[in-house]
Amino acid sequence: MNTVTSQPLVKEAVYNAPANRVWAAITDNEQMKEWYFKMDAFKPEVGFEFTFAGCNEEGVEYVHLCKVLEVIPNKKLVHSWTYKDHPGYSEVAWELFEEGDKTRLRLTHTGLDSFPDTPSFKRESFNQGWTEILGTMLRNYLEKA
């Protein structure tokens, strides 16, 4: 196993918002629909299974199959991250840290090396995706005027 790709992908961002507001943005399905993927249902409850579809740059759709594994309200959410019709298993952890009137979010995506060795599943693809999601989409949602 390549030790470079077996390392977790970790992204951090600091938002000008309190932790409970960031928590609501990442766990309330109605809020998630405004900045994240569109899901029929989502609940921050251990065992809750959810799915959503996302497309790569070529327009190929990938159906994500996920299950909530751990919940510490306003602090941590962990869920599995797999794909319909593709091998591999990964987990995504969202951790919130209060920093005065701001909140630091640390996202850790583990297991990326378990996915097929194709461009859509490359570490750089995940890195770009999470950078866009956390650095632009969530930031714009939380810090809109």
| Structural domains for the chain | 9-142 (3.30.530.20)
Instruction: Specify whether the CB–CB gap between 36 and 130 falls below 8 A.
Output: no
> 80-100 pLDDT, tens per residue?
999 999 999 999 999 999 999
pTM of the full structure: 0.93
DSSP type of residue 7: S
Alpha-carbon Rg for the chain, nearest whole angstrom, is: 15
* 112 vs 133: CA distance, rounded Å: 17
Among the listed residues 7, 13, 37, the one whose alpha carbon sits nearest the alpha carbon of residue 95: 13
Residue 106: both structure tokens together: 């640390």
> 6-63 pLDDT, tens per residue?
799 999 999 999 999 999 999 999 999 999 999 999 999 999 999 999 888 788 899 9
